[in-house]
Each structure stands twice: as structure tokens, then as C-alpha cells.
Amino acid sequence: MGEKVVRILRHTLTETDLVRIVVIFSLTVSCILITWLSFSLPFFMITTPLFFIPIIYAVYFFQKRGLYIAGICAVVFQAIGYYYSFPDSLALVSISAEAILFVLIAAIITYFIEQIRAGEARYRTVFEHSQLGILLFDAATFSINQTNEKFAHMLNYSPEEITKKTVLDVLLTPREKSRFLERIGKQKTTENFETRFATKDGASCWVNLSWDHIDDKTVSCSVMNINTRKLAEKLNNDNMMKYRQLTESSPTSILIVQNGYIRFANPSFSAFLGYPAAEITGKNLATFIDPRDSESFAEFSSQWGQKLPSPLAKEFRFITKDGELRGGGIFTTPIRHLDNPATLINLVDISERQRLEERIHRDNEHRRGIIVTVAHELRTPLQPILGYLNLLISDPESFGIKDDAKKILERCLVSVDRERQIINQMLDLSILESGKFHLSCSEFPLAPLVKRVLDDGGYATKAELTVAIEDSVTVTADMDRLYSILEALLTNAVNYSKPPRKIGIFYRSGIEDKQHHIAIRDNGVGIPQDQFTSIFEPFQLVDGTVLSRKYERLGLSLSIVKKLVQMHGGDITVESVVNAGSTFTIHVPREQEVHHDA
């Protein structure tokens, strides 16, 4: 479903972009008002770092257009500063330098963001030009949602034609459809499932399928064209010469191995290792395996003579003639060669994929580093700003602040405090995603922890509470993290409930249950069923165009909650009826590894 767009004058904007523009405008106006008040009052207050909030927010989402915001902030800041500081030359120079700093930092951040997004575009290009066919299909209807050109051309379709079909439509026979439905019904994750697809002209095409569920609705499937290998197997027992003619033109490395020694290797394998064919034939295949994989390869090759329901497959590192390492995925099938048992091997070069995965990992770490650094730099100046605002609001008469100005400062305080909370959540999410955070589990009673959360947050004054947790219930978990989980869910329950707010906290586990089930129920706006998954993703909100304004949230808390629950080996589920309320249930295993202090 496409996002709604709004037309303003000659410009077309999505509703999300319109919300962002409103936020940027509000933050910019707040910064200007604070700056004006700061210079007009009889004492100096730190204001410069405050402008980085709308500037960074703008350049993150709009890149080069965000530089205009930086320029506007710089000009306005300089104008206000000149007006109140003239003719103090030292102050004027300082104000000019700070204004230039706005634009400079915005330009630097824009450059890094553009570099990261250019890298993501390159990864997308690699995906689209992969040597494997890749398709995404609906887990319920099997309709093909997206595919790369490799898969479409494999069956002689155009990408537009193939996305109008289902996976069942391209399976060759009813028998193949039945085998596919049986396998996908039993196994959500499958590797090396061989079947036959029908090309556009009705011809048979053997393929090797490997699939996994991205989420409850979408399945990602890689498709390897093994038609060449199947034909090679069929022709091998009839005529070796015809087999050679077929395999030598194959882009996939093909080998015939007997008793561990290579009897035949096609040109693709020679090119893979950099050796001429004469230096490969007759050699033990294990001599080309990286010593670190020798033991694993020996165990793998010992199974080649066994009759298994599906071909064996595994990945190994190979040493080329130049001494470089290259990754290869090996697929094996027992055959007969010259009337003796042998193994047919198809080898797929996965070196580029491994290098791409490493680059993606490095770039993700780099991106997280930038986010953490920027968040830290933003959080540091926010503390004195919060302090000064609280000081002004607590004693307005001493500073000559009138009621209208006090209301402006109070609104500014709310905005700055909200930004502080967002920055803290961004830091928490970055730490959780980095995998460097570890739990410290202990056994403790659940009821006192829930009471402490309710008391600390003052929830009894915000809603009518119902708590159904027996005093005998104990859990094994990280107490501080479980506190954070409950606090986040209760805050959401209060924020999204309709007066009179009614919040319930229930423990639903039986004696024989292997998990604790802690449910938090509200009488709020509810969540559409098609958004049950997306609400746990960062920056996702239920009806974000409305609720993000009303509740002033960015959708980080639920993603943090889910990651913390998953770190405990559990999960979180949601049940909801629109306009009636929602129930979030935490499922945590009863048994956890307990860390005792030394």
C-alpha cells in the first residue's frame, strides 16, 4: 500500500515528509525564540548547541535541502546576536564563527549520509545483478512480490510478467506443486530443495531452492539453475564426450571425484583456482582446501558415497594458485564414472558474496558509530539547556520573565526534554544492535518489581490500575532490563488509552508452563492487525501521521522492548481491537543463566 501524498502549491509531499517539515519548523522556531530571550535577558545563556537539533534532523532526512535550514538558522542567529552585541567586536566575531559552524557541521553530516546511502545503492545493485535468482513471495498465497532479473530470465519471463504469477504457477507438474507445498508446510527454512520450474514456453528447468521467512508474511527464496547439472548427470552414463562438451561451457564449476581424486574439472573450476586443467586432474581435492577447513572437509567428503534423499552441500575456503582465499559452495551428488562409483560436484563461487557481507557489516558498524557519536554530542549540551530552562521557569520573577515568555519557555523545555529522551533511546537501540550488551540475570519476585515501576512512574494518578500477580511468582531475568520493559509498555498504555484510562497487568502462566507470560492491557486506540509486525520496527508508529503529533513519539520504545525480550530468549506478542484497546504480552523462559557476583 503506497503512502498518501499531499500537494502544496507546485510541490508534492508524502504525509511523512510533511510531518518532518512541521517538526523541523517547530524546532527551528523554538531555537530562535530561546536565542532571542537569551540575548535579551541581562545574563548570557548557552544557545548555540540548541540549533544543531533542527539542523541535524533536517539534513538527516532531506540532505542538501537541510543545508537551507542550517543557513536560515545561521542568518537568524547572527542577526539576533549582532542586534544585541553591537558594537562589541569580539562578540560579533564569535557570533559569526558560531553561525558558520552551523553550516559547516550540516555539510559534514550531509556528506557522510550521502556516502552511506550511496553504499546502500551499490548493495542493491549487487542484489539485482546476483548470479542467483532471488524472489520474495507471500507466505499465504505464494504470489511473487519481487524478483531480480536473473530469476525472470531463467524462465524466459520479464520481471513484470513473473510478478503477476505465484510460485505454484511456475512449478512444472502437479507432483512438483505437491512436493513444494509439503516441504514449505513442514519447514519454514529449507536449503537445497530440488524441483522443476516451467519456462514461459513450457519447457522444464531444474532448480535448487533455498528459502527462509523474512517475517510472518514474506518468504525470501534463492533459486539456483541446476539444469546443466541435471543434464550432466543424465548424460554421464551414456557418453562422457557429450558430458564434457556440456560442462566445459558451464559457468558453474563442475568436478568428478573418485576416491578423493579429481578425474574431471571443467574450465570454470580451472579459472576459479587459477590452475591449468593439467595441474588439477589427478590431484586430491583436499590439497586445494584451506588448512583451517581440512577437518570439516574430511568429515564432509566421507559422506559422499552414501545414498541420501538430497545432495550434500557445504561451504569451504579454497587456496588459489596465487595463494589467495576464495569461498566456494559445494553441492555433491553420487554418480557412476567409467562404471565405478564417483561424486559429481558443482561448485558455486561465493567470494563476492562473502566480501559484500563483510563490507555491509563494516558499514553498519560505521553507521552505528556515527549515530552514537552524534547522539552523545547532542546529549551533552542539552543538560545545561535543561538546567537553565528549569531555572528560569522555577523563578520567573527574579529574571523579569512575564507569563507569556514563561509559557514559551515551558514549551521549549518540553521540546528539549523530548529530544533528550529520543537521543537516549537512540543510544540504547544502537548499543543493543551492536551485540555488545549482555544481561545480568538473577531470581527475584515479580510483584514487588511491578509495584516499584508503578510507584516510580506515578501511574496510579494517571489511570485506573488492575494488578493480578501472586506474591509467590518469581522470575529469573535481568531485573533492570525487565523494569525498563514494563515501564515502556505501561507508558505506552497510558499514552494511548482513552479517558477514563484503565490499565491491567496480569500474570498468565500455569505451573507446567515453560515460560512466564506477563500481559499489559489498555483501553486505547488499538492497532490494525496488518501493523502488528511493523510497530516493533524502529521509527514505526500506529497511524504515525496523527499519533506522532499527539503523543510526540518516534516509535523507538517498542523496538527496544522487543530486543530486550529477545535477549532473554523470549518474545513479545500483541492482541488488539481498533478503538477498543490492546494487550501486549511478554513471554520469557522460566530458566535463564544466572550470573553471581564474585
**48: confidence class by pLDDT, cuts 50, 70, 90:** low
What's the rounded mean pLDDT across residues 425-445?
70
Q: How far apart are CA 123 and CA 222, in angstroms?
A: 17
Instruction: Provide the percentage of residues in the chain whose pLDDT is more than 70.
Output: 76
> Helix or strand or coil: residue 190?
strand
Q: What is the pLDDT of residue 554?
A: 39
In CATH terms, the superfamily for domain 438-589 is Histidine kinase-like ATPase, C-terminal domain (3.30.565.10)
Give the type of residue at 417. D
What average pLDDT does the chain have? 79
Q: State pTM to two decimals.
A: 0.37
**pLDDT above 70: residue 589:** yes
Give the pLDDT confidence of 278-306 residue by residue, as tens digits: 899 999 999 999 999 999 999 888 888 76
Nearest in space to 330 (alpha carbons), one of 192, 476, 172, 526: 192
Q: Which CATH number fits domain 133-226: 3.30.9.10, 3.20.20.70, 3.40.605.10, 3.30.450.20?
A: 3.30.450.20
Give the pLDDT confidence of 515-569 residue by residue, as tens digits: 999 999 999 888 888 887 777 766 544 444 434 434 334 345 787 788 888 888 8
**pLDDT above 50: residue 327:** yes
Asked if the domains 133-226 and 251-349 are classified in one and the same CATH topology, the answer is yes
Domain boundaries, the chain: 5-127+361-433, 133-226, 251-349, 438-589
Give the type of residue at 379. R
Instruction: Provide the percentage of residues in the chain whose pLDDT is more than 90.
Output: 18
For β-strands 464-468 and 502-507, DSSP reports them as parallel
Nearest in space to 562 (alpha carbons), one of 405, 428, 393, 366: 428
**pLDDT above 60: residue 461:** yes
Q: What is the pLDDT of residue 171?
A: 93
Residues in Cβ contact with 299 at an 8 Å cutoff, skipping those fewer than 6 apart: none
Lowest mean pLDDT: which of 67-71, 203-207, 393-397, 422-426?
422-426
Q: What is the pLDDT of residue 517?
A: 93
What's the rounded mean pLDDT across residues 67-92?
78
Q: What is the pLDDT of residue 196?
A: 92
Contact present, 54 and 27 (Cβ < 8 Å):
yes
Q: Cα dist. 228→204, 208, 224 in Å?
A: 12, 12, 11
- Structure-model confidence comparison of residues 373 and 415, the more confident one: 415
What's the rounded mean pLDDT across residues 478-482?
85
Q: How far apart are CA 492 and CA 448, in angstroms?
A: 21
Per DSSP, 189 falls in state S
Contact present, 109 and 102 (Cβ < 8 Å):
no
**pLDDT above 50: residue 232:** yes
Cell numbers given for 385:
539547556
In CATH terms, the superfamily for domain 251-349 is PAS domain (3.30.450.20)
Lowest mean pLDDT: which of 65-69, 337-341, 362-366?
362-366
Lowest mean pLDDT: which of 223-237, 261-275, 307-321, 357-371?
357-371
Q: What is the pLDDT of residue 369?
A: 64
Cell numbers given for 330:
559445494
What's the rounded mean pLDDT across residues 390-396?
79
- Structure-model confidence comparison of residues 9 and 153, the more confident one: 153
- Structure-model confidence comparison of residues 369 and 17, the more confident one: 17
Q: What is the pLDDT of residue 421?
A: 62
**448: confidence class by pLDDT, cuts 50, 70, 90:** very high
Nearest in space to 419 (alpha carbons), one of 31, 15, 63: 31
**pLDDT above 70: residue 174:** yes
Q: How many CA atoms lie within 13 A of 570 on its CB side?
A: 26
Can you tell me which residue has the cell 531555572? Answer: 391
Residues in Cβ contact with 180 at an 8 Å cutoff, skipping those fewer than 6 apart: 167, 168, 171, 193, 195
